Amino acid sequence: MKYMKLEDRLLQAVTYLICFLAACITAYPLIYIFSMSISRPEAVVANSVTLLPKGFSLQAYELVFRNKDIWLSYWNTIVYAVGGTAVSVLLTMLAAYPLSRRHFFLRRPLSLFFSISMFFTGTLVPMYLLINRLGLYNTRMAIILPTGAAAYYIIMARTFLSTIPDSLYESAKIDGAGEFTILWRIFVPLSKPIMAVLILYYAVQQWNSYFNAMVYLPDKNLQPLQLYLMKVLINNESATSGGVGGAVSMSMISLQLKYVVIVVALIPILCVYPFLQKYFTKGMMIGAVKE
Amino acid sequence: MAAKSVVAKRQIKPPLRARAAAGARQLWKNIRRDKALLLIVLPVVIHYLIFVYYPMYGNIIAFKDYSPVLGINGSEWVGFKYFLQFFRSPYFWRVLRNTLLISCYSILWGFPIPIIFALMTNDLRNGIFKRVVQAVSYIPYFISTVIICGMLVNFLSPSNGIVNTIIELFGGKPINFLMEPGWFRTVFIASGIWQGFGWSSIIYLAALTGINPELYEAATMDGASKLQQVIHVSVPCILPTIIVTFIMQIGTLMSVGYEKLILLYNPVTLDVADVISSYVYRTGLVEGNYSFGSAVGLFNSVINLLLVFLANRISKKVSEVSLW
């Protein structure tokens, strides 16, 4: 290493220390939740878990896995995430492609048409009335349809598509390919990076949202995981369907059940996260580029 | 139809008419040339008309006495009745104050942290350490609002929450954070920063990686210390990004999201926690005062719009950086 001034060394030490602390503050709650979920119920109730698990017990997991409600809501969330993401990605690409064609005569007006939604939208009540009027209230479509293509992502995808060389487009045109063929055969295969980003953004958004479901889906059989979590974690409803037998009483395990439910809900995101992280950050970078 | 065209013929002077006709021909030519592109974009336009523009038009019920039987168009026009009702209600000042306080504090604390964090992680030399710090700091962004609130409720619980366990360990008295009006904003804002600081730093990191290394070399030659390099090279180089981000934050000054608030507040903390958007949710959807809720929501949207324009204007004048 090169010679460093004392001042610089000091600064570097402080930088490392603060970054380390920042990472600890972020990671600690997550480690704590996991430890709470697998510790012995007695230790959980006695508040003796602080960082690492005390003892080992999967009893709470067993109870949660036996609960039909949680599986049903899990399934619903998957349906919404897959359905909603498919609709959103499709619409985003359909909007981004024409906007990326420089000769398209409605390019500017349509850009404006989409962008306005970033600054002004219908408020909560008109949206609610619309969902009712369309007959979507209490149907899966109330969650899948309205998200659609966000203007911000349309712009992001358009920015990406305009980086694909014009020569590809021109030569395909000369070969007699129509716009549909060009979009489907040339641009979509070349857009895998941006589509990965879009899928991730939309899917995480769907996976994590609860509000629309709370407002539009009174039917318990249609409710997604996040709504179930809300009931258990915030409204304090019980997370078990049947009674609890054996040495551990219900009151003892109910606290631990909450932590188990959090872990179960976090696992999919934390499992895919390491693989997807670079795509997310890539998306942020593309989005940051101005026209 | 025929009468109309006769009138039109008489009114339009030949050159103008010729121009209009040429324009129409050009338009028709364009449509024929780009019909495939038009077809491709059509579904999105329809989706926007239904799910964006129709609710936007639906805001009009703020000026009407909405009744579900009469519908949006049939309901009686009442002008600014509901706006005035909102301005005169005691809740107006409460929600306005809370909205401004929460977003000002959020910006005050939450805006500089990602910038500092980006400058710091950018300076980390150790590749693995750097990557771990970054990866870990982004995670909370992907945790759902419900889980964040669930974590807060359980961690801050006065009887068995970890935070109070630690406080008691040091001999303090347990605090019922979520039931104390004095603590509500702190909890709300701090958890928001915890969730977002890593993710928000990415945009600055992107700007930092774009800086020409020669600038640093030149600074080193001039004998600048690391700290001086950060202050005189890094910060000025990412200033445009900082300004744009700041404009966007100012634009959201009046829009504190309800999704996290309505999970955390309760009757005891409502006095410091209720913001405009949560008030819209409660009056509009929970209590079913559709027109009143729309009026409050519309008031909020218009202010937001004005704020974005204003911030953009100011930034253009001061620094020649703008959103558009």
Rounded to two decimals, the ipTM of the complex is 0.88
Q: Looking at the structure, do residues A118 and A32 belong to the same domain, yes or no?
A: no
DSSP H helices in B139-234: 145-155, 162-169, 181-209, 213-221, 226-229
Q: What residues does B65 pair with on adjacent strands?
A: B76
Chain B positions in Cβ-Cβ contact with residue A252 (cut-off 8 Å): none
Chain B closest CA to A245's CA: distance in Å? 24
Q: What is the DSSP string of B280-319?
A: HIIIIIIS--HHHHHHHHHHHHHHHHHHHHHHHHHHHHHH
Q: Would you kindly state where each structural domain of chain B is located, as residue ranges? A: 1-33, 89-319
* C-alpha to C-alpha distance for B281 and B284, rounded to whole angstroms: 5
Report CB contact under 8 Å: A19, B34: no
- Nearest by CB to residue B294, choosing from A33, A126, A154, is A126
- Nearest by CB to residue B301, choosing from A91, A120, A266, is A120
Residue B127 clears pLDDT 90, i.e. is over it: no
Range of the domain at A2: 1-57
Report CB contact under 8 Å: A15, B150: no
Q: Of A259, A219, A214, whose CA–CA distance to A239 is shortest?
A: A259
The helix/strand count (H/E) of chain B reads as: 19, 2
Q: Looking at the structure, do residues A16 and A87 belong to the same domain, yes or no?
A: no
Q: CA geometry: angle at B125 spanning B119 and B129, to 5°?
A: 90
Q: Looking at the structure, do residues A176 and A149 belong to the same domain, yes or no?
A: yes
Chain B closest CA to A154's CA: distance in Å? 10
3-class DSSP state for residue A231? helix
Query: How confident is the model at residue A247, as a pLDDT?
Result: 45
Report CB contact under 8 Å: B38, A266: no
Chain A positions in Cβ-Cβ contact with residue B121 (cut-off 8 Å): 19
Report CB contact under 8 Å: B144, A98: no
Query: How confident is the model at residue B8, as a pLDDT?
Result: 52
Query: How confident is the model at residue B323, as a pLDDT?
Result: 65
- On whether the CB atoms of residues B70 and B83 are closer than 8 A, the answer is no
Q: Looking at the structure, do residues A84 and A201 belong to the same domain, yes or no?
A: yes
* C-alpha to C-alpha distance for A247 and A182, rounded to whole angstroms: 66
Across chain B, mean pLDDT equals 88
Q: How far is CA A211 from CA A206, B51, B205, in A?
A: 11, 17, 32
Query: How confident is the model at residue B13, as a pLDDT?
Result: 61
Query: How confident is the model at residue A216, as a pLDDT?
Result: 95
Q: Report how far Cα B75 is from the mean position of its chain's Cα atoms.
A: 32
Q: Looking at the structure, do residues A173 and A262 belong to the same domain, yes or no?
A: yes
Report CB contact under 8 Å: A129, B61: yes
Residue B57 clears pLDDT 90, i.e. is over it: yes
Better-scored residue on pLDDT, B7 or B153:
B153
Mutation site, B44, B136, B148, interface A, largest A CB count within 10 A: B44
Q: Looking at the structure, do residues A180 and A166 belong to the same domain, yes or no?
A: yes
Splitting chain A (291 residues) into consecutive groups of 10 residues, what average pLDDT does each group show?
75 92 93 89 78 82 86 94 96 95 92 90 91 94 93 91 90 90 92 88 91 94 93 80 52 82 88 76 62 38
> What CATH number should be reported for the domain holding residue A149?
1.10.3720.10
Chain B positions in Cβ-Cβ contact with residue A94 (cut-off 8 Å): 40-41, 43-44
- Nearest by CB to residue B297, choosing from A91, A124, A146, is A124
Q: Looking at the structure, do residues A31 and A138 belong to the same domain, yes or no?
A: no
Question: How big is the A-B interface in CB pairs under 8 Å?
Answer: 248
Q: Of B42, B66, B300, whose CA–CA distance to A133 is shortest?
A: B66
Closest-approach residue (CA) in chain A for B285: A125
Chain A closest CA to B259's CA: distance in Å? 7
Q: Looking at the structure, do residues A236 and A130 belong to the same domain, yes or no?
A: yes
* C-alpha to C-alpha distance for A196 and A89, rounded to whole angstroms: 10
Mutation site, A125, A129, A226, A272, interface B, largest B CB count within 10 A: A125
Chain A positions in Cβ-Cβ contact with residue B37 (cut-off 8 Å): 97-98, 101, 104, 106, 179
Closest-approach residue (CA) in chain A for B291: A125
Chain B positions in Cβ-Cβ contact with residue A45 (cut-off 8 Å): 160
Residue B158 clears pLDDT 90, i.e. is over it: no
- On whether the CB atoms of residues B40 and A112 are closer than 8 A, the answer is no
Query: How confident is the model at residue B232, as a pLDDT?
Result: 92
Q: How far is CA B222 from CA B212, B218, B230, in A?
A: 16, 6, 14
Q: In the numeric block, which tokens belong to residue A146?
A: 């309205």
Better-scored residue on pLDDT, B310 or A291:
B310
- On whether the CB atoms of residues B260 and B171 are closer than 8 A, the answer is no
Query: Looking at the domain B89-319, which fold is it?
Result: MetI-like fold (1.10.3720)
Amino acid at site A106 = L
Domain count across chain A? 2
* Averaged pLDDT for residues B209-214: 89
Closest-approach residue (CA) in chain A for B124: A16
Chain A positions in Cβ-Cβ contact with residue B40 (cut-off 8 Å): 94, 97-98, 179-180, 183
Chain A closest CA to B248's CA: distance in Å? 11
Query: How confident is the model at residue A248, as a pLDDT?
Result: 53
Chain A positions in Cβ-Cβ contact with residue B150 (cut-off 8 Å): 229-230, 232-234, 258, 262
Terminal Cα-to-Cα distance of chain B (whole angstroms): 42
Q: Looking at the structure, do residues A201 and A99 belong to the same domain, yes or no?
A: yes
